[in-house]
Structure 1
Amino acid sequence: MTASLPFTNKIIIITGAGSGIGKATAIKLSTLGATLAITDITSSSLEKTLSLCTPPAFEKHEKHFTSVFDVGKTEPCNEFILNVVEKLGRVDHVFNCAGVNPTDLATAEITDEYWDKLINTNLKGLFNITRAAIPHMPSGSTFVNTSSIKGLGPGSGFAVYCASKYGIIGFSKSVALELGSKGIRTNIIAPGYIDTPTNASVVAGPESVARAAAMVSSGRLGTPEEVADVVVFLMSEESRYMNGSVVEIHGGMKL
C-alpha cells in the first residue's frame, strides 16, 4: 500500500497565488497531495500557477478550484469562501499571501489612492478572507499570514507599507489568542528580500538587487521556494505548538 502524502485530503486556500511566494507555495503543496483553492487578481497568472500544480493523486485539475477577484473587496471574498465550501466541503488551511509591494514615498506625498491600495489589499484583504473562513474551519486548521520585515521595524519612505504589515502582526496575534482554544492556529511569516517579480529591488534592476544582497549575511536574495518551505511547515503537525509566532525569513538581514 502506498503511503499517503502529508496533505492528502486537505483543502488549502492560497491568496496571491499568481506569482512569487503564493505561486511557489501552491506548487509545493500540490506535490504534497493538497487540494487547492487559489486566487489572484490576474487570471493569466493564476492559470499559469494552476498549470504547474500537478496533484499526484489525479491526472487532471478537477480537484483544484480557482477564482479571480480583489481580496480588498468584501463581497467577492465572502462569495469565494462559500464557493470553496460548496465545492470542496470545508477549509483546512489558509495562506494569506496577497499583497502589494511598496513605493518609496515621503509621507507628505502619499495619496488617498495609494493608502487605500496598500491597506485594502495587504490588511483588509487578509481580514476579509480570515473572517469569512473561520466558521468553516475544523480543529487542526491553520492560518499562515504574510507580514514582512517591515512589519517588525520601520522604514523611511515606507509608512503605509509598514502600517499594513505591522497591522497584520497585531491582527494575527489577536486571532491566534481568539481561536487557539478551538484548535485553530495562526502564525505569521516575515520575509526579507525575496527574489519575486514584484520585489522593489528586482523591479529596479541588477544594481538594486546587488545592494539588497549586500545587506544580507547570506549574500543573496531568498527564493519563493525557500519561503514556501516555511509556510508548509507552519501548516503541518510538526509546528503544532506554534501559535501567534512571527517567523523571520531573511537570510540574516542586517536590520
Structure 2
Amino acid sequence: MSEPTRDQYTFTDPSKLYADSDPKRQHQPEPGLEAKLDPKPDLGEETYRGTGRLQGRKALVTGADSGIGAATVIAFAREGADVVMAYLPEEESDAQRIASIAQDAGVQVFTIPGDLREAEYCRDLVARAAESLGGLDLVVNNGGKQVYVEEITELDDEQFDDTFKTNVYAMFWITKAAVPHLRPGSTIINTTSIQAYEPSPILVDYASTKATINAFTKAIAQQLAPKGIRVNAVAPGPVWTVLQVTDGQPPEKLDEFGEDTPLGRMGQPAELAPAFVFLASAESSYVIGETLGVTGGKVTP
C-alpha cells in the first residue's frame, strides 16, 4: 500500500491514492477476518483526524468489526461519539482491535456481538445500546451479507432468505426498535451500494436488498422528518473489505477489483467514513432521504 495521506483533509490526487494496494487472489469462509486480508484495508487508523463534530453523540454501528463499519467506528470515536459495536461472535478478534483503537480517542466503546438475522438479537441490541450509552441518537445500519451465485437456479432459498434478513430485515427491526429512543436531532444512516443501480448478474439477491434499502430509506425519512429525525444512506462503490474474499466476488476477479471505476481503482473504508460523519453531523441538517454515492466515479441517479 502506498504511503497514506496525512489526514482526510490533505490535498491529494484521488486517482493516485493507494496506487500500490494490489488485491491478491484469496479466499476465506464466511464471515472472514480482516486480520487475514491481504493487503490490509485502510480504516483510517493512521489518517482520520477528528474535529469534535459528533461530541457527546451516542451511536450504534452494525457490521462494526471490519471494513466500512470499522472505519466509521474509528471516525465517530475521534469525532467525540460514544459507540456500541455490533458484529458476529466469530469476528470478535477484529472487533476488539477496532474497539481498542476507538477507546484511544477517549470515548466509551461497548461491544455486543450477535446475529443480525435474529429479530430478538436486533431488538435486544437496541435496548442494550441505549442502556449502555445512556441514550441513543445515531444509528448506522451497515452489517451486510454478499455471496455471489452464477445462476439463479443455483441461488437457494436459504441464501436468499439470509441475505434479506441480514441486509433488510435487520435494518427494519433495528430502526423500529430505535425510533422510540431517538430525540429530535437524531440520525439514522443505512448502507446501500452501487449494486442498487448497477446490479451484477451474479449478485441478484444482494443487489435486490440494496435497492430495497434505498426505497426504505426514502420512505422512512419522510415519515420521521416531522419528528426531527433524519434518515439517509451511503452507497459505496467497490471497496476493499473482507466481504469480497468471503465469496462476495469470484476469486479470479479480485486482481482487477475496482478497475472499472473512473478513478481506476477500488476504494478503501477510510474513504467512506467521512460520508457517514457528514450525514451524522449537524452539517447535514437539511439533508433527508438522500443516498450519498461514494463510488469512485460510478454514476448513480
1:23 — aligned with what?
70
**DSSP 3-state at the match of 1:214:** coil
Please name the residue that 2:98 is paired with.
Answer: 49
Corresponding position of 2:81: 34
Which residue number corresponds to residue 184 of structure 1?
A: 229
- AA of the residue aligned to 2:180: P
8 Å CA contact retained: 1:202, 1:208: no
Q: Structure 1: how far apart are the matches of 2:180 and 2:265?
A: 41
User: Aligned runs of 1:223-234 on 2, under 5 Å?
Assistant: 223-234=268-279
Q: Please give the residue correspondences for 1:196-207 in structure 2 after superposition, counting only pairs within 5 Å.
A: 196-199=241-244, 204=250
Residues 1:144 and 2:189 are matched in the alignment? yes
C-alpha separation in 2, matches of 1:146 and 1:90: 23
The structural deviation recorded for 1:219 is: 1.5
Question: Given residue 99 of structure 2, which amino acid in structure 1 is its aligned partner?
Answer: L
User: How far off its partner does 1:29 sit?
Assistant: 1.1
Q: Give CA deviations for 1:21-51 in whole Å, capped at 9, x if unaligned.
A: 0001101111111100111013222212111
CA 1:156–1:197: 2 relative to 1, 3 Å: same
Asked if structure 2 preserves the Cα contact closer than 8 Å seen for 1:196 and 1:202, the reply is no
Distance apart, 1:239 and its partner CA: 1.0
Aligned structure 1 segments of 4 or more residues deviating by more than 6 angstroms: none
- SS of residue in 2 equivalent to 1:155: coil
The residue identity in structure 2 corresponding to 1:67 is I
Q: Relative contact order (C-alpha < 8 Å, sep 6+): which is higher?
A: 2
Give 3-state SS (helix, strand or coil) of 2:139's partner.
Answer: strand
In the aligned structure 2, how far is the partner of 1:55 from the partner of 1:185?
Answer: 29
TM value normalised by structure 2: 0.77
Change in CA separation of 1:203 and 1:152 when aligned onto 2, cut-off 3 Å? closer
Q: After superposing the two structures, state which structure 1 stretch, 135-144 or 208-217, moved more.
A: 208-217
SS of corresponding position for 1:198: helix
User: What is the aligned counterpart of 1:13 among 37, 47, 60?
Assistant: 60
Tell me if the contact between 2:123 and 2:173 (Cα under 8 Å) persists in the aligned partners.
Answer: yes
Looking at structure 2, the residues matched to 102 and 234 of structure 1 have their Cα atoms a distance apart, in angstroms, of 28
Does structure 2 retain, via aligned residues, the 8 Å contact 1:142–1:184?
yes
Deviations 1:105-152 (A, max 9, x none): 311111111111211101111111111111000100111100111112
- Equivalent positions of 1:1-255 (< 5 A) are 5-41=52-88, 42-57=91-106, 63-199=108-244, 204=250, 208-253=253-298
* 1:86-116 superposed Cα distances (whole Å, 9 cap, x missing partner): 2222111111110012313311111111111
Mean Cα deviation higher: 155-164 or 224-233: 155-164
Aligned with 1:189: secondary structure? strand
Stretch deviating more after TM superposition (80-89 or 22-31) = 80-89
**8 Å contact from structure 1 (residues 216, 254) kept in 2:** no
Partner of 2:11: none
Structure 2 CA distance, aligned partners of 1:12 and 1:222?
24
Q: Is the 8 A contact 1:15 1:22 kept in 2?
A: yes
Task: Tell me, in whole angstroms, the C-alpha distance in 1 between the residues paired with 2:109 and 2:195.
Answer: 33
CA distance in 2, matches of 1:54, 1:37: 11
User: Could you give the per-residue CA deviations for residues 199-251 of structure 1, whole angstroms, max 9, x where no partner exists?
Assistant: 2599655x634433320111111110111110111111111111001111111
Q: 2:125, 2:233 → 1: CA distance?
A: 23
Higher helix share: 1
Stretch moving more, 211-220 or 235-244: 211-220
For residues 197 and 126 of structure 1, do their structure 2 counterparts lie closer, same or farther at Cα, with a shift above 3 Å needed?
same
SS of residue paired to 1:8: coil
Q: Which amino acid aligns with 2:140?
A: F
Q: Which runs of 5+ in 1 are unaligned?
A: none
TM-score (norm 1): 0.90
